[in-house]
């Protein structure tokens, strides 16, 4: 009898957590509400004007709306990285920007790598870039497909340092325009999507963002090819999108900044990574304050911008960064409380230095 009662009590203890919920809870559905009570600073506008150097405005149909959001959030200028060489998108985009505000919206040109097999591809695309700059373009944008998935007609992967592209990099240096270069993706995207993957939720929502497997090159190989291009073209400024595409290893990013004086980084869509290492990130931002640019990678939205401001300007704790872009990981971030002289450079002064064509 004694043993039966002991067993009954043990079973009740084991079953109690199960009785507290209805059915089974899937990890992807788990959205815990924090009980933490800490200071929350509301920042409606930043301390200084802002240049958002990394954004996507698509077909520019909503530029008037975007301008309203920018005004609410204190954003001075916004760069759209969607002026594609393909299909002559720029022909329609440039007048569209000018109609709303050519002073507030800037365009970056995207090369058409589908033509890379054509003879003199690099020279032809460099000429199109030169024409685009005459139309008002202020930079070049490279998407992550280069070096990751794009292949030429022979089936060979087109690497970032493919010599056929060299005339384009060189032309950017000649024209004095920067290259916004996004190659590879978060480290977790190159690892198995299993219980050890820290961005399991994000990859569950976007399975096509997983680049794990033999059909993809290693992340380190892609970044090494990018760095060879940066070294080969010292007169061209390169902006490493998403904190140089390695926010998880700021020590390595620092090494690149020390090695390549023509290399800059932006913070777009990576405050979730930076904010979970606030001490390291703060030291990094202060040390490399002349080489860091502000960007969001999120269509202009006043509330999204304000999360960035809170991260950069305050010492707030346990900030949920998801609304600044989207859910990237199951962690909160902490403010960097940067000095004003650092904020001013990151918000707009460093961008002005690079985008010298509209000073």
Domains in the chain and their CATH numbers? 38-358 (3.20.20.140)
* pLDDT tens-digit profile, the chain (359 residues): 445 555 544 555 555 554 455 568 877 788 888 888 899 999 999 999 999 999 998 877 888 899 999 999 999 999 999 888 876 666 555 555 555 567 899 999 999 999 999 999 999 999 999 999 988 899 999 999 999 999 999 999 999 999 999 999 999 999 999 999 999 999 999 999 999 999 998 998 899 999 999 999 999 999 999 999 999 999 999 999 999 999 999 999 999 999 999 999 999 999 999 999 999 999 999 999 999 999 999 999 999 999 999 999 999 999 999 887 877 788 999 999 999 999 999 999 999 999 975 44
φ, ψ of residue 45 in degrees (nearest 5): -140, 150
CA distance 305 to 296: 8
Own/partner contacts of 88-92, CB < 8 Å, gap of 24 or more, are: 90/132, 90/135, 90/137
3-state secondary structure of 103: coil
CA distance 312 to 334: 9
The pLDDT value given to residue 1: 46
pTM of the predicted model as reported, rounded to 2 decimal places: 0.90
Residue 88 to residues 9, 111, 126, Cα–Cα distance (Å): 74, 11, 15
The conformational region for residue 169 under phi > 0 = left, psi -120 to 50 = alpha, else beta, is: alpha
The pLDDT value given to residue 256: 98
Among 24, 21, 28, smallest CA distance to 330 is for: 28
């Amino acid at each position: 009898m004694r043993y039966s009662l002991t067993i009954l009590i043990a079973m009740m203890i084991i079953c109690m957590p199960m009785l507290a919920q209805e059915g089974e809870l899937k990890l992807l559905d788990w959205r815990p509400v924090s009980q933490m009570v800490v200071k929350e600073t509301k920042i409606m506008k930043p301390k200084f004007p802002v240049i958002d150097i990394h954004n996507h405005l698509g077909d520019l149909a909503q530029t008037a709306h975007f301008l309203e959001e920018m005004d609410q959030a204190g954003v001075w200028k916004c760069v759209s990285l969607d002026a594609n060489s393909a299909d002559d998108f720029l022909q329609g985009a440039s007048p569209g920007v000018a109609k709303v505000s050519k002073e507030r919206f800037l365009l970056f040109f995207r090369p058409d790598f589908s033509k890379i097999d054509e003879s003199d591809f690099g020279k032809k695309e460099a000429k199109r870039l030169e024409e685009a700059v005459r139309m008002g373009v202020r930079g070049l944008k490279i998407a992550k497909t280069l070096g990751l998935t794009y292949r030429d007609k022979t089936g060979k992967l087109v690497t970032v340092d493919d010599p056929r592209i060299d005339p384009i990099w060189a032309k950017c240096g000649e024209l004095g325009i920067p290259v916004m270069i996004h190659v590879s993706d978060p480290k977790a995207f190159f690892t198995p999507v299993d219980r050890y993957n820290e961005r399991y939720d994000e990859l569950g929502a976007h399975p096509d963002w997983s680049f794990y497997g033999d059909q993809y090159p290693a992340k380190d190989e892609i970044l090494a090819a990018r760095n060879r291009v940066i070294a080969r073209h010292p007169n061209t400024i390169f902006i490493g999108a998403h904190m140089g595409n390695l926010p998880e290893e700021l020590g390595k990013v620092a090494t690149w900044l020390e090695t390549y004086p023509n290399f800059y980084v932006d913070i777009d869509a990576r405050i979730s990574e930076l904010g979970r290492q606030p001490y390291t990130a703060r030291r990094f931002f202060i040390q490399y304050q002349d080489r860091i640019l502000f960007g969001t990678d999120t269509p202009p939205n006043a509330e999204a911008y304000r999360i960035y401001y809170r991260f950069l300007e305050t010492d707030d704790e346990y900030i949920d960064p998801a609304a600044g872009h989207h859910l990237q990981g199951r962690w909160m971030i902490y403010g960097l409380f940067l000095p004003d002289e650092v904020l001013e450079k990151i918000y707009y002064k460093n961008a002005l230095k690079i985008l010298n064509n509209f000073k």
